[in-house]
Amino acid sequence: MTATQINSPSLRVRPAAKLDGLIRLSDVHKTYFLGEMDVPVLKGVTLAIDKGEMVSLTGASGSGKSTLMNILGCLDRPTSGSYLLDGQEVGDLDGDGRAMVRNKKIGFVFQSFNLLARTSALDNVLMPLSYTAKHLGDREAMGRAEAVLKLVGLADRMDHHPSQLSGGQQQRVAIARALVNKPPVLLADEPTGNLDSRTSEEILAMFQRLNEEEGITIIIVTHDRNVAQHTKRQILMRDGLIESGNYMSAS
């Protein structure tokens, strides 16, 4: 559409034909109905993200960034348009269906960690497993939780409560919790917003490592340009549309 998009270097690297990606939004609209006034927030977003990508989603406040993230995370449903996640149409699922998709396909990392207080790191990580459709045995669940905690480097802090952990450690527990169900997508909402710059670097390095070594697709929603620069692909939103960083726009 715009000159920047056409001239984007990634457009040349990535062929536009790759449509069987992990995430594929086509012409997604989201309109909030506030009384008699309709507030369109997303005005036809078309977006594709492939397996193994590390993407940042940026934009000024009011650009529809959070709304798009909610739809990507299956927390909300689009007013119109289609959303294919891992080959499954999730745009028209009901609440319970979306809950199951969230449980299996998406790991969430939040700005404020959202750990359960007075609960050990291990139990925090175990929590999502209690909502999986097919229950694991206690031993298997424990093994998995310990493995992901080891992966984020907290093998020696498993019994600590959130109040006994630093901010960076808490966020790493949150990342472990997001990973415990082995989701293909990790959705991080301002993951470094509550952290100092040194710890932020650590967390971002961890995301990069998870992306490269474990092949997990990572989407980081942020308003911080420094954070966005850590990702290979940066999607910029403005006024409910994607302004740059989209391969689909060429097709």
Binding site for other proteins (CB under 8 A): 70, 73, 75-76, 95-96, 99-100, 102-104, 108, 110, 114, 116-119, 123, 127-128, 130-132, 135, 177-178, 181
Pick 123 or 239: Cβ nearer other proteins: 123
The nearer residue to other proteins, 76 or 224, going by C-beta atoms, is 76
Q: How far is the CB of 96 from other proteins (least distance, A)?
A: 4
DSSP strand pairing (80-85 vs 185-189): unpaired
Distance CA 182, CA 91 (A): 22
* β-sheet bridge partners, residue 237: 59, 242
Q: Which residue, 50 or 76, is less far from other proteins as judged by CB?
A: 76
d(CA 3, CA 38): 31
Read off the tokens for 87: 């080959």
Cβ proximity of 140 and 148 under 8 Å: no
- Write down the least CB distance from residue 139 to other proteins, Å: 13
Q: Taking a C-beta distance cutoff of 8 angstroms, is the pair 232, 53 a contact?
A: yes
Cβ closer to other proteins: 26 or 103? 103
Structure tokens at 246: 């989209």
Of 123 and 202, the one with the shorter C-beta distance to other proteins is: 123
Rounded CA gap, 105 and 113, in Å? 19
CB of 164 to other proteins, least distance (A): 15
Please give the backbone phi and psi of residue 232, each rounded to the nearest 5 degrees, phi first: -75, -30
